Amino acid sequence: MEALLCKKLGDPAALTSLDERNLDSPIELSKNHPIPELNSPTAVRIRVKATSLNYANYLQILGKYQEKPPLPFIPGSDYSGTVDAIGSSVSKFKVGDPVCSFVALGSFAQFIVQDESQLYPVPAGCDLVAAAALPVAFGTSHVALVHRAKLTSSQVLLVLGAAGGVGLAAVQIGKVFGATVIAVVRGPEKVQLLKSLGVDHVVDLRNENVTESVKGFLKARRLKGVDILYDPVGGKLTKETMKLLNWGAQILVIGFASGDIPVIPANIALVKNWTVHGLYWGSYNIHSPAVLRESLRELLFWMSRGLIKVFVSHIYSLAESNLAFVTIKERKAVGKVVIAFTDQGSGRSKL
């Protein structure tokens, strides 16, 4: 089978191609990787249709992610596909069923094996490529906003990096709950998409100051401030937007796409009665799996009802993975970037 191997740490976005003669390349396309065997009576082998790129996958190959697997490893976390083979005791799935799920590592490959308890049926009518990009991005934002922050319709939600994977999910979940949603992005294409989703106010960082723009909006709506800050970016933007938070606000610390870990002053958190939630979604699978499973089931139901949509701006083949990482690095993604396989192997389409 085809699989992408990370053989050494480095920048996959710096490559012009996945040429196997480039010995310095951190990633390599293996065309004869062994197909994984069923490893228990309840194991299921899935033929992968698509797998999404998350910022964490990029950080992991760079060696900058909190989890550092031994080399070599197959990167990749969330994916979708169809059931290819089942163990003798599998009761929930049959060959051909459409499923999606996530793994700590290993989805950048044509086949993957997981226990049936870790798989989610993709509802009829849902696009399999979109389903591949739902678990991590929407799962993170759903657990953060619904389980942790207990979002309600009366709250003002401010989303940073709002056209990225987790950001675009957070914005849509905010709208499902009827909250007032403010989105912070960079660039006219992203602004246009967010406006089309009915976001209440969009800040374009290319030509606006975030605090002035949000203050103007809040004043016009007679709102006091922001109740929930959803922050996958960090750095200066966190520092700026903390000035907009209400008494009793919540900060959801999701990630540091800017590369800068922000400081949240404890004295101000005390005086303003803020709650700071650190959230590491993947760890729910170990510490609180029921929350994560219920959350993904609800999201798949919402997707089947058209309440949320997974936006995929770029689709690449596995052989074009380096280009997929460039898209993430250069902030060109609007929503998600996906690696897709055709029945013959990697697809070559690109939107």
Least distance CB 282 / ligand NAP (angstroms): 6
Least distance CB 79 / ligand NAP (angstroms): 15
Under the criterion CB under 6 A, does residue 333 sit at the interface with ligand NAP? yes
What token pair was written down for 145?
């906003």
Under the criterion CB under 6 A, does residue 12 sit at the interface with ligand NAP? no
Under the criterion CB under 6 A, does residue 316 sit at the interface with ligand NAP? no
Q: How far is residue 41's CA from residue 87's CA, in Å, rounded to a whole number? A: 4
Least distance CB 198 / ligand NAP (angstroms): 18
Least distance CB 193 / ligand NAP (angstroms): 11
Q: How many CA atoms, within 13 angstroms, populate the side-chain half-sphere of residue 229? A: 30
> Mask: binding to ligand NAP, 91-130, rule CB under 6 A, as x and -?
----------------------------------------
Given candidates 83, 136, 202, 312, which one binds ligand NAP under the rule CB under 6 A? 136
**Residue whose beta carbon is closest to ligand NAP:** 164
Q: How far is residue 101's CA from residue 120's CA, in Å, rounded to a whole number? A: 6
Instruction: Centre a 10 Å sphere on the Cβ of residue 6 and count the other Cβ atoms it contains.
Output: 24
Given candidates 165, 174, 262, 347, which one binds ligand NAP under the rule CB under 6 A? 165
Under the criterion CB under 6 A, does residue 230 sit at the interface with ligand NAP? no
Q: Which residue in 130, 111, 110, 118 sits closest to 92, CA to CA? A: 118
Least distance CB 319 / ligand NAP (angstroms): 22
Judged by CB under 6 A, which stretch of 33-41, 287-295, 326-334, 339-347 contacts ligand NAP?
Answer: 326-334
Under the criterion CB under 6 A, does residue 256 sit at the interface with ligand NAP? yes
Least distance CB 19 / ligand NAP (angstroms): 26
> Mask: binding to ligand NAP, 41-70, rule CB under 6 A, as x and -?
-------------xxx--x-----------
List residues bridging with 48 in a β-sheet: 81
Q: How far is residue 83's CA from residue 113's CA, in Å, rounded to a whole number? A: 10
What token pair was written down for 106?
């290993």
Judged by CB under 6 A, which stretch of 10-18, 207-215, 250-258, 288-296 contacts ligand NAP?
Answer: 250-258
Of the pair 26, 167, the CB lying nearest ligand NAP is at: 167
Residues that bind ligand NAP (CB under 6 A): 54-56, 59, 136, 140, 161, 163-167, 185-186, 190, 205, 232-233, 254-259, 279-282, 328, 331, 333
